[in-house]
Structure 1
């Protein structure tokens, strides 16, 4: 089996194995420029397998490690940025990320506040299991960026016009990339073909991640015309980006309306009254903490008038 799949002219997807028993792989992308160099998007997990898989793909494309010109990470999570430092060491290529994501890395390194489980109304006997999964260490292997990106920047990829889109929500500095000439949108974890990404998973934010995410969906959805292909961070590439963005938007607005129908009470009481795919009673540990966190975010979104503004 080839170590990569060609998605479009000069754009290749590489499946990077993911440890942990969840999703089996993330998707990294190697983008060729007109000087025979490669630009890497999302190197993947902090494992030797990730680095060897990427270097095998580089070799299969007839390039050497020194031909990798840049490493762009869509966001700070380990399954996307974890191999960045090791790939930088192997290739000499600089690591680029959004400036807000670099700030989030610093905040995580300084230590994030623990959720106030008592204020959330979590029963005392359930608090230890949640406290055990509240830590958020700096993603291993992410490394510090060599250059920072901002919304609207055009990446230095000779022969291509690839624009940076700041799409916060999943994390504060998540970014997407729009290859305008090739009708490609690299969506990271902002838009996946079937999975609904969690929100607010990159440290504190002064804005509401739900509102941020919905705004990003509108921007990205406007790029999803006929012939446009989405290149996400997991699962598979897909078309129908505008329709998928609309579906994700409705998913979160539906959840917000459900939260609004249960005003008052604690976050725990509200969450326990909502509809969960596997049922409320099946949630435990990280999945329970995530459910409570998402409920708190939707509640804040509703209280800030998000439903009325949507």
Structure 2
């Protein structure tokens, strides 16, 4: 049974901190991971939200530890929002994937405004979608940009004495999302790329020249191949789990089923297509941000199907 305290030891030299999420976000906490190095310093992966409660929880878990580096899996507020304050307090370096660094300006500007006319959204549903689209996505990216000290690339080993933790680029959720693979310890920090029960939204990191669905499927295949000898996945939300290969297969099947559903309704608008698809909570339950995300992913799937044709 999972620990009920904010901090628990996952493996030798690796601790998880349940960092509280702001109310109304749908998930109670994000996971920050504290990794000890051979020099007695700590490396923090995804420090969490930029709220007072989140900062206090993380600082209590760190105690008097010396923080060497802050690694961010992707530039969303619930993962990267606390990086600037922690870096200012500790002098730690702040690192993201080079593709996520390149997208900083796009993320800070927010996702493009949805073309509700082109999507065929009924007039009575437009106000809630415009309100959801107006919620700023940039503050965390802007804060990280102010303290960013370096970038990471695929296959690179973190500068973490005593451990061999390799960067694995996993675009899909955002264009520059990364996972971290500690092969010797049998751990994979998955961020929001693979969660144990939640289906992560895709294409949430600004415009890309590639299709987020295709990127995500390729990234799932990449991390599934790492699952050997009981690899333990350490996700950005929910609890650590095993069976990564099976979870990746389930997520891929989910999106391929959706692509088949989209392909079965080639005509009409994005709204008309989305209404025909199978949604976890049901179409009628979608509202505000969840409805906006569903429509965006429908548009991505239409593009994915068209490219594959």
Aligned to 2:27: 23
Q: Verify: 1:95 aligned to 2:99, yes or no.
A: no
Equivalent residues of 2:212, 2:300 under 8 A apart: yes
Equivalent residues of 2:70, 2:94 under 8 A apart: yes
Deviation by residue 1:116-144 (Cα, 9 ceiling, x = unmatched): 11011112232222111113431347421
Could you tell me how far apart the structure 2 residues matched to 1:142 and 1:97 are?
Answer: 13
Aligned to 2:201: 198
Deviation by residue 1:105-162 (Cα, 9 ceiling, x = unmatched): 2113345431211011112232222111113431347421211111111100011111
Task: State TM-score, norm by structure 2.
Answer: 0.94
Deviation by residue 1:251-301 (Cα, 9 ceiling, x = unmatched): 110111111111111101100111222322222211111111011011111
Aligned to 2:56: 52
1:32 is aligned, of 19, 31, 36, to 36
Equivalent residues of 1:85, 1:142 under 8 A apart: yes
1:195: Cα distance to partner?
0.6
Q: Verify: 1:81 aligned to 2:80, yes or no.
A: yes
Could you tell me how far apart the structure 1 residues matched to 2:79 and 2:124 are?
Answer: 35
Query: Residues 111 and 184 from structure 1, CA distance in 2 versus in 1: closer, same or farther, beyond 3 angstroms?
Result: closer
**Bigger mean CA offset, 211-220 vs 49-58:** 49-58
Unaligned runs of 5+ in 1: none
Could you tell me how far apart the structure 2 residues matched to 1:34 and 1:277 are?
Answer: 45
Aligned to 1:301: 304
Equivalent residues of 2:234, 2:241 under 8 A apart: yes
**Bigger mean CA offset, 133-142 vs 253-262:** 133-142
1:46: Cα distance to partner?
0.5
1:265 is aligned, of 265, 268, 277, to 268
Unaligned runs of 5+ in 2: none
1:290 is aligned, of 285, 288, 293, to 293
**Bigger mean CA offset, 76-85 vs 278-287:** 278-287
Could you tell me how far apart the structure 2 residues matched to 1:234 and 1:109 are?
Answer: 23
Equivalent residues of 2:111, 2:205 under 8 A apart: no
| Equivalences, count | 301
Equivalent residues of 2:109, 2:137 under 8 A apart: no
Deviation by residue 1:57-116 (Cα, 9 ceiling, x = unmatched): 122xxx43xx11000000011000010001111111011001211222211334543121
Deviation by residue 1:25-63 (Cα, 9 ceiling, x = unmatched): 01100001111111000000001222221121122xxx4
Q: Which runs of 4+ in 1 moved over 6 A?
A: none
Q: Verify: 1:143 aligned to 2:159, yes or no.
A: no
**Bigger mean CA offset, 279-288 vs 15-24:** 279-288
1:3: Cα distance to partner?
4.3
